[in-house]
Structure 1
Amino acid sequence: MEESKQMSFLDKIDKSKSPEHVAIIMDGNGRWAKVHGLERADGHREGINSVKSVVEAASNANVKFVTIYAFSTENWCRPDEEINALMDLMVFAIRQEEDNLIKNNVRVKSIGDTNRLPEKTRLALEECEEVTSKGNKLMLVLALSYSSKWEIVHATKQLIRDVRNGKISEDDINETLFSQYLTTKDIPDPDLMIRTGGELRMSNFLLWQAAYTEFYFTDTFWPDFREENFYEAIVDYQRRERRFGKTSEQIESEKKS
């Protein structure tokens, strides 16, 4: 008699209540490579397969936005050899996946100080954003040369410039308006943030946007993170009560009304 198939965490997800936006800090590529006796670049290459798996899993779970922390502004401090390898890998991965992204209705968008990227990386990214612009099932947001502190300072400078030019007044400034000056202005705040690799910190990622985000930390290194890991994180998320500063009683009352 054939053994019964083990239930997937996907079967436990209530897709009507899936997080709209999942953000991911992809950590552990270098440590994964070290454990396997490989070069750090090998860890980054295997990490690309995890990105593919998560994009497919997100689509299956009815998630509409996935933001991945691909390269931080602090990462520019890494050795030139590793940075160059990462940039070459990004170009390769973007071009290799374009057809699949289009086929699966995935739109690609980048956030961050992309002017710092090498020209070939920036051009490949811009081309990918253009050819996938009609995708309407899932938006894959690539945080490249990104950090929250950079983003908030950049937004503040733009805000000050518009006040000086008379486009807005000081009295117009509030949280909603400020959010419109961020690189994520057309993207909902993340409902769930996943960090792989066992570290318990945010690493300068979406600090403004994550004010009421749920966090999920796992020891799994990013190159080992696959569909089932993603589904498990969503199942854990759906067990939580999101109160946004309210009491449990208020939440229950709102559900009944």
Structure 2
Amino acid sequence: MRIPKHIGIIPDGNRRWALSNSLSKDKGYDHGINPGLEVFKLCQKENIQEVTFYGFTIDNTKRPSDQKIAFTKACIDSVMLLTKEDCEILVLGNTESSCFPKELLPFTKRKKFGSGGIKANFLINYGWEWDLNLLKNADISKKHIQPHLQSKDISRIDLIIRWGGRRRLSGLLPVQSVYSDFYILDNYWPDFKKEDFYDALSWYNEQDITLGG
């Protein structure tokens, strides 16, 4: 089986999951932490080199304060969980905003934990316009965009998996996702099961990778 080098994870459906379980919307995020750890361990097992988790965006911070507090805490807890694993963690996002959790500032340069290995990226207080904002003053060709991105240390994504049924990228790493294959799951992120992951890998294996050629 052809295995992607880099997988992007869009863990959507936390709020809808909460409502479907008679909970307030903010309660859904905490139930999305363990699925993230499960996905990480499956990526490790399958020798995937890099995984990126879409935590929250700058636009997400406009949500009600109880939700903002909940998803920020869930992101912090998710990063801290992976510090106990063998990996190399990078947190990427707008650190100049008060919405960026100060607890994650030490991770804005990639840090190795345990014996290292798989790269684990978290997009926290991320925005695609913020990611690209250095390009407007740069004299560059299309072939040399990457060094001028805020996300320059994140590689091209081979496969993006999105839970929750939405058919959109929501601004996820626009340069790295240009040629990504995009797999959609209708079930909500807190209901994650490992079959989701392996179904996505099987589907990816069947795709014709052309990179525009």
Tell me, in whole angstroms, the C-alpha distance in 1 between the residues paired with 2:108 and 2:151.
18
| Residue of structure 1 in register with 2:102 after alignment | 122
Judge conservation of contact 2:91–2:108 (CA < 8 Å) in 1. no
Q: State the aligned residue count.
A: 213
Structure number with greater Rg is: 1
| Residue of structure 1 in register with 2:141 after alignment | 174
1:132 aligns to 2:112 (yes or no)? yes
TM-score (norm 2): 0.90
Matched-pair identity in %: 28
1:112 aligns to 2:96 (yes or no)? no
Deviations along 1:160-214, one digit per CA (max 9) or x if unpaired, are 2xx6xxxxxx4xx112322111122222210001111011011111122211111
1:142 aligns to 2:122 (yes or no)? yes
TM-score (norm 1): 0.75
| Residue of structure 1 in register with 2:84 after alignment | 100
Quick one: which amino acid aligns to residue 87 of structure 1? Answer: T
Change (3 A) 1:124 1:179: closer
Tell me, in whole angstroms, the C-alpha distance in 2 between the residues paired with 1:18 and 1:175.
28
Q: Secondary structure at the match of 1:198?
A: coil
Q: Give structure 1 stretches of 5+ with no counterpart.
A: 1-13, 164-169, 247-257
Q: Secondary structure at the match of 1:67?
A: strand
Output aligned runs, 1:72-87, within 5 Å: 72-87=57-72
Change (3 A) 1:214 1:39: same
Q: Give structure 2 stretches of 5+ with no counterpart.
A: none
Q: Secondary structure at the match of 2:170?
A: coil
Deviation at 1:222, TM superposition (A): 0.6
Judge conservation of contact 2:37–2:78 (CA < 8 Å) in 1. no
Higher helix share: 1
Quick one: which amino acid aligns to residue 29 of structure 1? Answer: N
Deviation at 1:125, TM superposition (A): 4.7
| Residue of structure 2 in register with 1:56 after alignment | 41
| Residue of structure 2 in register with 1:222 after alignment | 189
Indicate the larger mover: 214-223 or 177-186.
Answer: 177-186
Q: 1:35 aligns with which of 3, 10, 20?
A: 20
Q: 2:179 aligns with which of 212, 215, 219?
A: 212
Change (3 A) 1:215 1:188: same
Deviations along 1:15-48, one digit per CA (max 9) or x if unpaired, are xx31000011111000001111112232101100
The ranges of structure 1 where at least 4 consecutive aligned residues each deviate by more than 4 angstroms after the TM superposition are: 127-131
| Residue of structure 2 in register with 1:167 after alignment | none
| Residue of structure 1 in register with 2:154 after alignment | 187
Change (3 A) 1:128 1:98: farther
Quick one: which amino acid aligns to residue 91 of structure 1? Answer: I
Tell me, in whole angstroms, the C-alpha distance in 2 between the residues paired with 1:133 and 1:187.
18
Tell me, in whole angstroms, the C-alpha distance in 2 between the residues paired with 1:87 and 1:233.
27
Change (3 A) 1:78 1:112: same
Q: Secondary structure at the match of 2:145?
A: helix
Indicate the larger mover: 224-233 or 70-79.
Answer: 224-233
Deviation at 1:128, TM superposition (A): 8.9
Tell me, in whole angstroms, the C-alpha distance in 1 between the residues paired with 2:159 and 2:141.
25
